[in-house]
Amino acid sequence: MSSGSLVDGETYLEGFIESLSTLPAELRRNLDLMKDMDGSCSTLMDETMRLQLDYIRRVEDKIGRLEVVDGEGVRVLSNNDDIRKLPVVIPTTEELMAYVHEPTTLSQIESLRADSLQQAEEKVEIAKQTYKMIDNLYQKLDADLRQREMELSLSTRNGPDFHHHHPSNATATMNQGAPKLNDLAAIQVPGTSDWILAKVVTHDPKTGMFTLSDEDVESNKVFNLPASSVIILERMRNIRSGDVVFAVYPDTTSFYQGTIAQQPRKAAGGGMFVTITFLDDEDAATGETHDKAVLLKHVMSPPY
């Protein structure tokens, strides 16, 4: 096998490692969030169990203080067991229930149960999103391996001088159409796992290097980045509800993970928008998560 084929293998490996560069941070964030929620949920369950046991003990104590008299009625024993002055009554079911009922305690128990159930359901949703992230990476690796097997097969049939290089991101971009001035792109901020919105200034097809300007109106930053850190944004197709995506959060230029809530629709002023449920986007006051409308051109597949 020629040295060129060995370089091909290294390129696949390097590409896979590059795709992993942002995944650990996302996985770590999800796993840490589930760990925190698990601790919070355990605390809620412990408090619920404590309230329930205390309530049951108090009910048992109250029932234990009732004495049946001549099989006709009951009376409540006093603390000093002096039963002679206490009247004998025939209580109704409602009166017996009211005797042991503690509305405040029962309300606290129901509230804790509801909070525990909500956190458990949120943990399940985060676990599903984490699984989807890993599954997407697995599918990408599987596709790369199939491509590699095909290239090795072609190399064997065509002899040792046959070289078929795996296309880099820059080549793939050119195959879809060379990047143009002012094309929107998602770029990975150097040294971080963050992705932000930028605009193409120049692109060198020989080296694959990009010069891009930050789309933040308050920023004058210009980035010089390799193709591996740049994703030219094109309108996504075949989007389905439940798909995990990265999208620009409203009123920012930063990409965040979310899930498609509704299919794309036409905007009143032209263009297309899609409704997204962003991860960890609960309202601080109500705890509810509100879906956000995002321009379809600001949405991309997860960059891993």
DSSP collapsed to 3 states, 236-276: CCCCCCCCEEEEECCCCCEEEEEEEEEEEEECCCCCEEEEE
Question: pLDDT tens, position by position, for the chain (304 residues)?
Answer: 333 333 344 455 555 555 555 566 777 788 888 888 888 888 899 999 999 999 999 988 888 777 776 666 666 665 555 555 566 677 777 887 888 889 999 999 999 999 988 888 888 888 888 888 888 777 877 777 777 776 676 555 444 443 333 333 433 333 456 788 989 999 999 989 899 999 999 999 888 899 999 998 888 899 999 999 999 998 777 888 899 999 999 999 999 999 999 988 887 667 789 999 999 888 888 888 889 999 999 999 998 7
Report the alpha-carbon distance of residue 199 to residue 215 in Å, rounded.
6
Third-level CATH fold of 168-232: SH3 type barrels. (2.30.30)
Per the CB < 8 A criterion, the answer to whether 231 and 185 are in contact is: yes
pTM surpassing 0.85? no
Which residues on adjacent β-strands are paired with residue 210? 203, 225
In the three-class reduction of DSSP (H, G, I as helix; E, B as strand; rest coil), residue 68 is classed as: strand
Tokens of 263: 């299919």
Name the residue among 193, 242, 147, 155 with its Cα closest to residue 29.
193
Q: Which residues of 13-43 are buried (b: 16+ CB within 10 A; e: fewer)?
A: eebeebbeebbeebbebbeebbeeeeeebee
Report the alpha-carbon distance of residue 24 to residue 27 in Å, rounded.
5
Q: Amino acid identity, residue 127?
A: A
pLDDT of residue 82: 54
Is 168-232's fold the same as 244-300's?
Answer: yes
Per domain, the residue ranges of the chain are 1-166, 168-232, 244-300
Third-level CATH fold of 244-300: SH3 type barrels. (2.30.30)
Which residues on adjacent β-strands are paired with residue 265? 273
pLDDT of residue 38: 84
pLDDT of residue 15: 58
DSSP H/E element including 136: helix 103-158
Tokens 């263009």 found at: 271
pLDDT of residue 4: 38
pLDDT of residue 210: 95
How many of the other CB atoms lie within 10 Å of CB of 8?
20
